């Protein structure tokens, strides 16, 4: 088994791999469940914290290079609206960011799934960071653990019993890291691991169709689709991935898939001045969403250094919203949180340009 050599985070092993490991060590099979609970329910970060494992087993794990090291927190930035951005340095030196967003009753954690992104969406800062690799299960889980630890320490977050919601919409395209993201969702929702209800988890995607189909079949979490345009040409201009997975095919799935029935679907639409914010766009958006059971999240573009676009003024956002509502759609104009610390949508990865 390849995982037995070299340095390896124990939290990257699947349940099956843990069972194989336990067998190989000549330990009774219940040890695999024991380790799994230590790793994902209690969230330990040293091998020695697993106190009911035999000493000799713990020693062997360490000797074989297994560890539970967490990424290092290199910065914790607090916005004046309460949002907190955490910059993490992974063991290979890559930097990723997670964002904690307190709202009245909710404390939402936004998790990154890649160290950059290769989709090349023109309005997104993360796209400029192309040296991109997928995060592993242990790196995904670590973001939750580090945010939990931070929550315990932060006086402003004391009122929250726990992180209530997880949104998989940070840096990267989660469906381009499908295997690890699916394993992450399993750990998040498994009652014997982190125990979140799938209704408290939302994944946002630019619409990688084959992976989307797999996701819908294998999980019950909520879905957010970044649409951002109302015709193929504009969408391809803004999001080159549209060439491969055209909007029309995506909308067909959203309209007809029976797997979407029992979960919430959000259509995300970044409003960009003079690109996709006209009255015609609003009407066309209502038209193409006919028969799709969803709500629409409008968000004015968050600009960043070097961004070629500008956000529309407030009046245009209102006009856009009114047209959609007039067509019977449920619309939310999303407040941008954490803009002052570059933690808002589309701004993640900004810091890395300075440090790399
Ligand atoms: N790749 C995934 C998740 C990351 S982006 C996706 O495309 O959904 C998360 C959300 O932020 C998406 O809805 C995206 O359209 C939005 N976004 C990206 N750049 C933005 C910007 N500059 N201003 C506002 N929203 C942005």
Q: Can you count the helices (H) and strands (E) in the chain?
A: 12, 12
The ranges assigned to domains in the chain are 8-67, 85-355
Which residue's CA is the closest to the ligand 1 atom numbered 3? 169
pLDDT tens sequence across 190-212: 999 999 999 999 999 999 999 99
- Spatial separation of the C-alpha atoms in residues 294 and 329, rounded to whole Å: 8
Q: How far is the CA of 187 from the centre of ligand 1 (A)?
A: 25
Choice among 27, 97, 139, 173 that is catalytic = 97
* Partner residues linked to 108 by β-bridges: 101, 165
The pTM for the full model equals 0.94
pLDDT tens sequence across 77-98: 999 899 999 999 999 999 999 9
Contact status, residue 268 vs residue 299, Cβ threshold 8 Å:
yes
The pLDDT assigned to 6 comes to: 60
Overall CATH class of domain 85-355: alpha beta
Which atom in ligand 1 lies closest to the alpha carbon of residue 119?
Answer: 1
Overall CATH class of domain 8-67: mainly alpha
Residue 345 falls in the annotated catalytic set:
yes
The pLDDT assigned to 342 comes to: 73
Choice among 121, 132, 307, 345 that is catalytic = 345
Which residue's CA is the closest to the ligand 1 atom numbered 20? 346
Which atom in ligand 1 lies closest to the alpha carbon of residue 171?
Answer: 4
Ranges under pLDDT 50 in the chain: 1-5, 350, 352-356
- Spatial separation of the C-alpha atoms in residues 110 and 108, rounded to whole Å: 7
Which atom in ligand 1 lies closest to the alpha carbon of residue 206?
Answer: 7
The pLDDT assigned to 352 comes to: 46
Query: CATH topology of 8-67 equal to that of 85-355?
Result: no
């Amino acid at each position: 088994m390849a995982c037995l050599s070299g340095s390896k985070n124990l939290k990257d092993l699947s349940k099956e791999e843990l069972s194989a490991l336990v067998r190989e060590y000549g330990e009774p099979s219940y040890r695999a469940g024991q380790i799994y609970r230590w790793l994902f329910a209690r969230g330990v970060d040293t091998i020695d914290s697993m106190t009911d494992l035999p000493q000799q087993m713990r020693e062997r794990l360490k000797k074989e290079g297994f560890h539970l090291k967490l990424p290092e927190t290199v910065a914790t930035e607090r916005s004046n609206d309460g949002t907190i951005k955490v910059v993490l340095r992974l063991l290979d030196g890559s930097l990723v960011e997670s964002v904690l967003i307190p709202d009245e009753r909710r404390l939402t954690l936004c998790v990154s799934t890649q160290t950059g992104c290769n989709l090349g969406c023109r309005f997104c800062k993360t796209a400029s960071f192309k040296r991109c690799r997928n995060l592993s299960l242990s790196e995904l889980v670590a973001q939750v653990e580090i945010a939990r630890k931070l929550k315990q320490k932060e006086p402003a977050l004391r009122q929250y019993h726990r992180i209530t919601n997880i949104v998989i919409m940070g840096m990267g395209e989660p469906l381009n890291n499908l295997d690890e993201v699916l394993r992450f969702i399993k750990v998040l929702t498994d009652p014997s691991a982190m125990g979140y209800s799938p209704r408290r988890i939302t994944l946002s995607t630019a619409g990688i169709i084959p992976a989307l189909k797999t996701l819908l079949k294998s999980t019950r979490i909520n879905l957010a689709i970044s649409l951002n345009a109302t015709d193929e040409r504009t969408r391809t201009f803004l999001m080159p991935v549209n060439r491969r997975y055209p909007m029309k095919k995506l909308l067909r799935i959203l309209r007809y898939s029976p797997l979407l029935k029992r979960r919430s679907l959000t259509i995300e639409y970044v409003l960009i001045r003079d690109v996709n914010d006209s009255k015609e766009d609003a009407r066309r958006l209502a038209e193409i969403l006919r028969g799709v059971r969803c709500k629409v999240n409008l968000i004015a573009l968050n600009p960043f250094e070097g961004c070629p676009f500008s956000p529309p003024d407030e009046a245009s956002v209102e006009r856009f919203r009114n047209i959609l509502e007039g067509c019977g759609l449920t619309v939310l104009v999303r407040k941008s949180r954490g803009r002052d610390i570059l933690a808002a949508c589309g701004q993640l990865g900004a810091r890395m340009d300075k440090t790399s």
